[in-house]
A and B are shown apart, each in its own frame.
Chain A
Amino acid sequence: MIALDPDRDRGGPGTPLLAVQSLTKHFGRKASVFARNNAVVRAVDGVDFTVRKGETLGIVGESGCGKSTTARLVMQIIKPDAGEILFDGEAVGGRALSLASYRRQVQMVFQDSYASLNPRLTVEDTIAFGPKAHGLGAKAAIARAHDLLHRVGLEPARFAGRYPHEISGGQRQRVNIARALALEPRLLILDEAVSALDKSVEAQVLNLLLDLKDEFGLTYMFISHDLNVVRFMSDRVMVMYLGKVAEIGGSDSLFEKPLHPYTAALLSSMPSMDPDKRTEEAPLAGDPPNPINPPPGCRFHTRCRFAATLCAHAEPVLTGGDDHRAACHLADPQSGHPRLAA
């Protein structure tokens, strides 16, 4: 393809590709006839994480936990209320890294493959649109589109001239991936990108994503509610609960020795694949609380079986080594949680 930008890797291998600090987004409910108060949805509430170069960071959590809002904040589709996003060591929108340049280096693939595409553009025009907008000539842009179609497993001769409604869901998601790659991004955000696909097609697209990652030296943020898929794809995993990071760590360490009771509950909620060892007891009762009025202290304390008085008052911070950290008083030997003394 096209030669890589010589100064693409500015910060060197040690600098995280993405560093997010105290990222916060509260959605104010607009005054309407029905609004009784000025409640605020604390969608993302002080989130810190880094994505290292070349890794896949998986993000899991239930609806309302803020995983998609986090993705949109990183993508700069919505403006954060507070917090900082550093890309390869540079502040986004600062002098060294303009928003346009950042957006070219970070691309996103969404869950709904059909809604993501312009129904009036052919597949090749869809993929060529971005490069053209960024100054590539029409002919070169179409050539790049064909090359990318080939790489995502769609024969250009058959698919280039088709419209989104003429191809299947799996093929459409391949087009979305090709489009995301058209600007040679360094970070790809996959927000439930395989969730709407049939299982037999999902495996094909996961394999494709792994191949493309190797081929183009990409870094992924992989958001999904499917823990099996996240474990398969991710080097590290971040678990979110009601706008906060509950736990973050290496994939194997997190799946095998979860530190946060919420992570443990999430893992044991996965359906068993063994007919002789069916799940006998639900690990959690009730639904996740509303992010409009999150519980004080530890946000998980209302559903946690280890909750103590402390948990209702003091908010735990992420503690632990660099490789595996959890925001739970039980993970912090100094917290004074009664179970630690016992």
Chain B
Amino acid sequence: MTDAPIVTAKDLTVDFAAGRSYVRAVAGVDLTLARGETLALLGESGSGKSVTLRALMRLHPKSARIGGTITVDGRDVLAMNAAELSAYRGATTAMIFQDPGLAFDPVYRIGDQIAEAVMRHENVSRAEARRRGLELFERVRIPSPERRLDNYPHEMSGGMRQRAMIALALACRPKVLLADEPTTALDATVQIQVLLLLRELQRELGLAVVFVTHDIGVAVEVADRIAVMYAGRIVETGPCAAVIRGAAHPYTQGLLASRAGHAAARGSRLETIPGAPPDPAALPPGCAFGPRCHAFTPACAGGTPPPVDVGAGHWARCMRLAAAAA
């Protein structure tokens, strides 16, 4: 891709007020997203993946402090005023969430909510906006779309509501789609349908997608690139196949090894990462993964490991790699 990336975040930090002090949920994230590219942010609870995603939309409470820079489609997101922000949200960048039941207003018909979004951003009539809604419902393959536009959210099943939310997100033809665990609450047979739908829409509409998930399998199904987050930092990123087949960071390696997949014979024991993810308010010094790492050395506690290049567009933050490269 020759043109400039559509999303660039540099040294992104997000701090939340916790009593008198602040807790650093995102501690210096750099990411770039090319037009038409899908990036999966993979991590466990508290890793900062959802906070990073929300920062791209500036969806945090006023008390949160965001540092660094975010540029989307050539504009500085952190410098936008309220009016610019509301024009930006929905039109340039749209978001879908884990729970579509909470994303819709329960007392309005879904068709009206989509029409409202279209009319808010574009100077069109209600009839035209509804026509757009119908087109979108067909696009996300909701059966009998005309009738379904008049449904209230509770009248739809979970999978259909998720499709409707995707339709709502696409209503103003955004360039960037932010997806926060959109299939986590869905049943297996429905999850794969929604993943395939997102992949197809991404291709047809040329969307750039940031997809937050805790499930490696889901990331492999949708992503061009994977970024693995741990304790507020991206610890490894690279093309999907490179990260899955040649994981360089001990945390990524551990995650892949601990999966109860085909490789694990019944009755045997899984390889595990000891301990639990750290509390963001009390991170260990240096590499935050250090205390759980099988390759820990005193140098790991000495400072944050720098990103080390391990292949084409593939890097990881690990002292072991840094020492080998030096």
Is A94 close to B, CB under 8 A?
no
Task: Knowing A266-B188, A271-B218, say if A203 contacts B159 (CB, 8 Å).
Answer: no
Q: Shortest CB–CB separation between residue B18 and chain A, in angstroms?
A: 16
- Pick the residue among A170, A210, A283 that contacts B267 (CB under 8 A): A210
Q: Max chain B CB contacts within 10 Å: which of A225, A251, A281, A284?
A: A284
How long is the Cα–Cα vector from A285 to B158 in the complex, in angstroms?
13
Is A259 close to B, CB under 8 A?
no
Task: Knowing A170-B276, A203-B272, A273-B261, say if A279 contacts B187 (CB, 8 Å).
Answer: no
- Pick the residue among B193, B266, B277 that contacts A198 (CB under 8 A): B277
Q: Max chain A CB contacts within 10 Å: which of B187, B195, B255, B258?
A: B187
Task: Knowing A271-B217, A271-B221, A274-B220, say if A283 contacts B255 (CB, 8 Å).
Answer: no
Task: Knowing A62-B188, A273-B261, say if A232 contacts B266 (CB, 8 Å).
Answer: yes
| Contact between B221 and A235, CB atoms less than 8 A apart | no
How long is the Cα–Cα vector from A286 to B197 in the complex, in angstroms?
12
How long is the Cα–Cα vector from A324 to B223 in the complex, in angstroms?
38
How long is the Cα–Cα vector from A169 to B46 in the complex, in angstroms?
12
Is B44 close to A, CB under 8 A?
yes
Is B144 close to A, CB under 8 A?
no
Q: Shortest CB–CB separation between residue B130 and chain A, in angstroms?
A: 25
Q: Shortest CB–CB separation between residue A61 and chain B, in angstroms?
A: 9
Task: Knowing A198-B44, A287-B190, say if A279 contacts B260 (CB, 8 Å).
Answer: no
- Pick the residue among B221, B255, B262 that contacts A278 (CB under 8 A): B221
> What chain B residues lie within 8 Å of A278 (beta carbons)?
220-221
Q: Shortest CB–CB separation between residue B285 and chain A, in angstroms?
A: 20
Q: Shortest CB–CB separation between residue A37 and chain B, in angstroms?
A: 16
| Contact between B217 and A273, CB atoms less than 8 A apart | yes
| Contact between A200 and B159, CB atoms less than 8 A apart | no
Which residues, 179 to 198 on B, are CB-close (under 8 Å) to A? 187-193, 195-196
Is B78 close to A, CB under 8 A?
no
Is A293 close to B, CB under 8 A?
no
Is B240 close to A, CB under 8 A?
yes
| Contact between A232 and B260, CB atoms less than 8 A apart | yes
| Contact between A199 and B221, CB atoms less than 8 A apart | no
Is A23 close to B, CB under 8 A?
no
| Contact between B271 and A275, CB atoms less than 8 A apart | no
The count of chain A contact residues (Cβ–Cβ below 8 Å) is 50
| Contact between A198 and B214, CB atoms less than 8 A apart | yes
Task: Knowing A198-B45, A203-B272, A282-B193, say if A271 contacts B266 (CB, 8 Å).
Answer: no
Task: Knowing A210-B269, A275-B220, A287-B157, say if A282 contacts B188 (CB, 8 Å).
Answer: no
Complex: chain B residue closest to A226, CB-CB: B260
How long is the Cα–Cα vector from A16 to B143 in the complex, in angstroms?
46
Task: Knowing A225-B187, A272-B217, A272-B221, say if A201 contacts B276 (CB, 8 Å).
Answer: yes
| Contact between A199 and B220, CB atoms less than 8 A apart | no
- Pick the residue among A169, A207, A226, A276 that contacts B270 (CB under 8 A): A207
Is A116 close to B, CB under 8 A?
no
Q: Report A271-303 CB contacts with B as 1/0, cut-off 8 Å.
A: 111111011111111111010000000000000
How long is the Cα–Cα vector from A308 to B10 in the complex, in angstroms?
58
Q: Report A158-186 CB contacts with B as 1/0, cut-off 8 Å.
A: 00000000001111000000000000000
| Contact between B221 and A284, CB atoms less than 8 A apart | no
| Contact between B272 and A207, CB atoms less than 8 A apart | yes
- Pick the residue among A171, A200, A207, A225 that contacts B44 (CB under 8 A): A200
Which residues, 187 to 214 on B, are CB-close (under 8 Å) to A? 187-193, 195-196, 214
Is A317 close to B, CB under 8 A?
no
> What chain B residues lie within 8 Å of A201 (beta carbons)?
276
Is A233 close to B, CB under 8 A?
yes
Q: Max chain A CB contacts within 10 Å: which of B160, B245, B264?
A: B264
Is A101 close to B, CB under 8 A?
no
| Contact between B189 and A270, CB atoms less than 8 A apart | no
- Pick the residue among A200, A207, A271, A280 that contacts B254 (CB under 8 A): A200
Is A229 close to B, CB under 8 A?
yes
Q: Shortest CB–CB separation between residue B27 and chain A, in angstroms?
A: 19
How long is the Cα–Cα vector from A234 to B244 in the complex, in angstroms?
27
| Contact between A62 and B189, CB atoms less than 8 A apart | yes
Is A206 close to B, CB under 8 A?
yes
Task: Knowing A200-B254, A282-B192, A285-B193, say if A270 contacts B217 (CB, 8 Å).
Answer: yes
| Contact between B258 and A199, CB atoms less than 8 A apart | yes
How long is the Cα–Cα vector from A155 to B191 in the complex, in angstroms?
40
| Contact between A266 and B189, CB atoms less than 8 A apart | yes
Is A98 close to B, CB under 8 A?
no
Is B259 close to A, CB under 8 A?
yes
How long is the Cα–Cα vector from A282 to B258 in the complex, in angstroms?
27
> What chain B residues lie within 8 Å of A251 (beta carbons)?
266
A-B contact pairs, 10 of them (CB 8 A): A170-B276, A171-B276, A200-B254, A200-B276, A266-B189, A270-B192, A271-B220, A278-B221, A286-B143, A287-B158
Chain B: residues with CB nearer than 8 A to chain A?
Answer: 44-45, 143, 157-160, 187-193, 195-196, 214-218, 220-221, 240-241, 244-245, 254-255, 258-262, 264, 266-267, 269-274, 276-277, 292
In the complex, given contacts A62-B187, A285-B193, A286-B159, what are 17 additional A-B residue pairs having Cβ atoms less than 8 angstroms apart? A63-B158, A199-B214, A200-B44, A200-B272, A203-B258, A207-B270, A225-B187, A232-B264, A232-B266, A269-B189, A271-B191, A275-B240, A278-B220, A282-B196, A287-B187, A287-B190, A288-B189
